[in-house]
């Protein structure tokens, strides 16, 4: 079992709709969770991070964390063609001073 798992996609989303991305992790002691967006051929850029159970909203993005079920999700509201990218989930374990474990990413395609 991989430490961080994501559906590879592609996830096809009509423009204006909500994109829902999921990420599960295996280490119950994980404490910090990050979502990065990566355009083709570019480096990852941070979108959001979340530490506590519940929802965290930032503009059109909402991160949701459920530690009991060991999953973190990212919602993208009012999806735009510019949201077409690969979204990487990253998890920091409690025993790790800074090291992140990355999922393989979910490709999102927003269709006009």
Partner 1 sequence: DGGITQSPKYLFRKEGQNVTLSCEQNLNHDAMYWYRQDPGQGLRLIYYSQIVNDFQKGDIAEGYSVSREKKESFPLTVTSAQKNPTAFYLCASSIANSNQPQHFGDGTRLSIL
* Sites of contact with partner 1 (CB under 8 A): 4, 8, 31-32, 34, 42-46, 49, 51, 88, 90, 92, 97-100, 102-105
SS3 21: strand
Taking the least distance from each CB to partner 1, the nearer of 62 and 107 is 107
Taking the least distance from each CB to partner 1, the nearer of 37 and 73 is 37
Give the tokens for residue 34: 């990050």
Taking the least distance from each CB to partner 1, the nearer of 61 and 102 is 102
Kindly state the DSSP code that residue 81 receives in the 8-state scheme.
G
CA-wise closest residue to 105 among 90, 92, 86: 86
């Amino acid at each position: 079992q991989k430490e961080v798992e994501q559906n590879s996609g592609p996830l096809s989303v009509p423009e204006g709709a909500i994109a829902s991305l999921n990420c599960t992790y295996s280490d119950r002691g994980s404490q910090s969770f990050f979502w990065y967006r990566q355009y083709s051929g570019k480096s990852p850029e941070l979108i959001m991070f979340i530490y506590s159970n519940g929802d965290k909203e930032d503009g059109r993005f909402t991160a949701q964390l459920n530690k009991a079920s060991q999953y973190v999700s990212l919602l993208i509201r009012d999806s735009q063609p510019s949201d077409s990218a690969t979204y990487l989930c990253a998890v920091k374990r409690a025993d790790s001073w800074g090291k992140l474990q990355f999922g393989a990413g979910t490709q999102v395609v927003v269709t006009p």
